[in-house]
Copies of this chain bind each other. A is one copy, B any other.
Amino acid sequence: MDITSYLSRKKDSVDKALEKLMPPPKTFPSSVHEAMRYSLFAGGKRVRPILAMAAAEALGAKSAGLLPLAGTLELIHTYSLIHDDLPAMDNDDFRRGRPTCHKVYGEAIAILAGDGLLNMAFEVLSDPRRLESVPANRLIAIIKEISTASGVFGMVGGQVVDMESEGKDIDFPTLEYIHTHKTGALIRASVRVGALYARAGKRHFTALTRYGEMVGLAFQIADDILDITGKQEEIGKDVGSDIKKGKRTFPSFYGLEESRRRAVEVVDKAITALKDFDRKADPLRELAKYIINRGH
């Protein structure tokens, strides 16, 4: 299969779904609506919604009905980027090659745009008009999955420890905590949301969870490597920004070569987790490989 064209088709359908989810740009009060859209439509690759759709397809489900639901993963991801970039947090001026939300709209509107997107995710997830094909009890399980990944036991916890570790000589388990929570939690949740949507049995659900965990880890190692070796155009921010901030990364523990070797190993584990799946899981397999070749 051609993963590039698969990703491009899926990205288009996610972008269209997100356009439908969001209120029109001129909605009152327009500043916050513009700010939400500015960050949401900033050229993200939609990795998380695509993982959810590919997981559902691996189980034989059609993924079209999943689209609004998969879109909420991108709303959550975007909210976290806006808040993480704030001056009081990581203080990043650029994201995907464009000024960050607070640089354009100011801090107050950026905080509120993040809050707006986070709430919007749950407004969509509880809107029966958008999700009529999903029974209420399954929707509740999906809301549980997403809110837990997004909250203090997921991304919020990861961001706290990431910030508190800056400039400190942290140990490897602390780096692992940051990775599994700040990035890993929502990636794992994305795969599991697709699995829940497609009514995965216990065995498949466990296998997809393992796949999601390995992909999340590979994603983070690749990200750490890109921060050192990537071109600015590719990563959309300054090269070496982790080092400048005194952040420990995977390569700072294991060196570049060993980090690359581990990334490949982790992708192999992700693919091995899918051994009981047939060819319908090929997009998931190709996605795992794509992640370490491309970053995000």
Residues of A within 8 A of B (CB): 23, 27-29, 31-33, 36, 83, 86, 88-89, 106-109, 111-112, 114-116, 118-120, 122-123, 125-128, 135-137, 139-141, 143-144, 146-148, 150-152, 156-157, 159-161, 163-164
Give how many copies assemble into the complex. 2
| A144 and B160 form a contact (CB under 8 A) | no
Residues of B within 8 A of A156 (CB): 32, 112, 115-116, 119
CA distance A141 to B32 in the complex (A): 26
| A109 and B160 form a contact (CB under 8 A) | yes
- Which residue in B86, B143, B152 is a CB contact (below 8 Å) of A120? B152
Task: Give the residue name and chain of the B residue nearest to A131 (CB).
Answer: B140
- Sample of 18 more A-B contacts, CB < 8 Å, known A116-B156, A136-B140: A23-B152, A29-B160, A32-B156, A36-B152, A88-B111, A108-B163, A115-B118, A115-B151, A115-B156, A119-B150, A119-B152, A120-B151, A123-B148, A123-B151, A125-B143, A126-B144, A140-B140, A143-B143
| A111 and B89 form a contact (CB under 8 A) | yes
| A152 and B116 form a contact (CB under 8 A) | yes
CA distance A144 to B212 in the complex (A): 29
| B115 and A144 form a contact (CB under 8 A) | no
CA distance A177 to B156 in the complex (A): 32
Chain B nearest CB from A217 CB (Å) reads 20
CA distance A111 to B83 in the complex (A): 8
Chain B nearest CB from A171 CB (Å) reads 14
16 pairs, A vs B, C-beta closer than 8 Å: A27-B152, A29-B160, A36-B152, A83-B111, A89-B108, A108-B163, A111-B111, A115-B115, A119-B152, A122-B147, A122-B151, A126-B140, A126-B147, A136-B136, A136-B137, A136-B139
Residues of B within 8 A of A125 (CB): 143
CA distance A29 to B156 in the complex (A): 10
